[in-house]
Amino acid sequence: MLLSSFLRHRHGLLLVILYLFALAAAVDTHPQEDAHMSNALSMYRTIKRLGIPDSNIILMLADDVSCNPRNKFPASVYGEPGRKLDLYGDNIEVDYRGYEVTVENFIRVLTGRHPPSLPRSKRLLTDANSNIFIYMTGHGGNEFLKFQDNEEISAFDVADAFEQMWRGKRYNEIFFMADTCQANSMYSKLYSPNILATGSSLVGENSYSYANDQDIGVAVIDSFTHYILEFMEGVGKTGKQSMKDLFDTFDPVKINSHPGVRSDLFNRRLEETLITDFFGGVARVDLVEPTSESDSAPPSWQDESVARVDGKLNTTHDDSTPKTDPPVVITTTTTTTGGGRAGGSDWKERAARTWGAVGVVVGLLGVAVVRSTS
């Protein structure tokens, strides 16, 4: 089930829970190249490892490499020459594959403009509280990226799609990443707020692969993506590394190109923006002071509630004693009514009645058996 953002009132504070979404797209169909598909699948594996579920990921793959007859290892895709990890594996969910990967479908996913018959699994079901990571890789040039080797998406298309998302309240923040030749030109036309962007190469500059596999005979991953993933392997679900820490690892000598970062549209400092704000699946809860007296009044369901705080059950019943809430993240909240265990002695009375009824039934059955045997 897709997790959507929601609001809960608790003791005069508003808990705003943000959920993370990701869109990864490898958009070209060159059978002689394995790198672009490996790029997308490697990024897909990383965001899943950090906790983003498949229900919150849209994966678009041209999907030409794994089943290509020239692939020496059918139904497999590897991201390093040693072939230690099959990125294709058994645990991936491809939402758009083959000729479904088009510019039109990509923009429809971003803007949410789908026919009613389209299943939920192919939709980006975000709202104004959602952080979105968008990763694109393939063959490109100055302000364009090729789809299926026969159409292109331009930097203007991407910018206008993001603006539609902003006006439609489909995101809180976006982290946009492109790995292609002249990738930095893909974010040059962005104008919507709360967007952080990075690319693998300057305008007029190519992006290069990291390594070739001699058995497969092609490049297996691109340098920019490889070094990002190398850094990401040291990030855990609750890691404190910031976006600045990631960008500081960009080394033009290793990558063989000059990555770029655009942060003028972003409203937070990079050193204060955690990588897990975009790559991780751990919900962040912000405590916001109430804006009116009605917000500060605790709802009726708070009279008897069971909350899991820092891994421990905290049961509250008596509203006469003052409560002080520590600044912690509430991961699970359930509500009980008077009919449950937290409802006092009613359950004992019902249990007594139940066992009494069982005793009557057993007695009647015993009488019937005696009469039938006599």
Residues annotated as part of the active site:
139, 181
**Contact in structure between 281 and 50 (CB atoms under 8 Å):** yes
Query: In whole angstroms, what is the distance from residue 39 CA to residue 226 CA?
Result: 8
Percentage helix, strand, coil, to 5, in the chain?
30, 25, 45
DSSP structure class, residue 65: S
Q: Are strands 57-61 and 144-147 parallel, antiparallel or unpaired?
A: unpaired
- Residues contacting residue 254 through CB under 8 Å, at least 6 positions apart: 223, 227
Separation of CA 47 from chain center: 7
Query: In whole angstroms, what is the distance from residue 40 CA to residue 38 CA?
Result: 6
DSSP element (H, E) containing 146: strand 144-147
Q: List the one residue out of 302, 327, 332 whose CA is nearest residue 317.
A: 302
Q: Classify the C-alpha dihedral 363-365-368-369 as positive or negative.
A: negative
Q: DSSP string of 234-299?
A: T--TT---BHHHHHHT--HHHHSS--EEE-TT--S-GGGSBTHHHH--PPEEEEE--SSHHHHSPP
Q: List the one residue out of 64, 69, 68, 65 whose CA is nearest residue 77.
A: 65
Query: In whole angstroms, what is the distance from residue 10 CA to residue 194 CA?
Result: 28
**Contact in structure between 317 and 88 (CB atoms under 8 Å):** no
Side-chain-facing half-sphere of 132: CA atoms under 13 Å = 28
Q: Which residues of 49-59 are buried (b: 16+ CB within 10 A; e: fewer)?
A: bbbbeeebbbb
Burial class (CB in 10 A: 0-12, 13-18, 19+), 15: middle
Q: At what angle do helices 103-111 and 155-167 cross, to 10 degrees?
A: 20
